[in-house]
Amino acid sequence: MTVIRVLLVDDDPLVRAGLSFMLGGAADIEIVGEAADGGEVGELTDRTRPDVVLMDVRMPGVDGLTATERLLARPDAPQVMVLTTFHADEQVLRALRAGAAGFLLKDTPPDRIVEAVRRVAAGDPVLSPTVTRQLMRHAAGTAADDRRSRARERLAALNDREREVAVRVGRGLANAQIAAELYMSVATVKTHVSRVLAKLSLTNRVQIALLAHDAGLLDEDAS
């Protein structure tokens, strides 16, 4: 059995204790370290070599957003899952754009937190369609038109099939669901996702979803 190594980063010791209790009860998850400030993440990552980092957003020293950007800029960085208290927090968008594998609400049921860690460790970023759309719409701001134009220019590099897959990734569908909707095999879906990532110079499915949202493709798909 492969054990998933997890680093907890949160300034609240009670939150860390709760996460440690929840995750530590899983036979395939090991808590390898804890940090109370984003400034400790780099050194702890070097020392403990985690597969997944659970990162709080708001911390009194180096915040989780800055720590996430610094960590994901490094070669061979672990997966980062952002933790937040809010259903719609525009600051989390910054972490997602930096390459974070997704985010969890701190009131997420324990079994879902455990499953989310497993999915992220397996290279399947956790993307909640409802919460993510709420977040992205909250963060739309006044530059939405410019962002849409730039996003559509980037997506022009995709062919029609890749674009269809990108839209469904944006909707939060798993590969099997995309395969069923588009009448293709799961292996073919994985190939299309890999091509989309390569063509757009992205690192994970969350970034595909953000780009599809910025381009307005999710609204078009729903209409």
Q: What is the pTM of this model?
A: 0.68
Asked whether the beta carbons of 183 and 164 are under 8 A apart, the reply is no
Give the residue carrying structure tokens 């397996």. 122
Judged on CB neighbours under 10 Å (0-12, 13-18, 19+), 124 is middle
**pLDDT tens digits, 79-118:** 999 887 765 556 667 777 778 887 777 888 888 889 989 9
**pLDDT tens digits, 36-88:** 999 999 999 999 999 999 999 888 889 888 999 899 888 888 999 988 776 55
* Distance of alpha carbon 103 from alpha carbon 55, whole angstroms: 9
Give the distance, in angstroms, between the CA of residue 39 and the centroid of all CA atoms in the same chain: 21
**pLDDT tens digits, 167-202:** 999 888 889 999 999 999 999 999 999 999 999 988
Judged on CB neighbours under 10 Å (0-12, 13-18, 19+), 70 is middle
Q: How many CB atoms lie within 10 A of CB 23?
A: 21
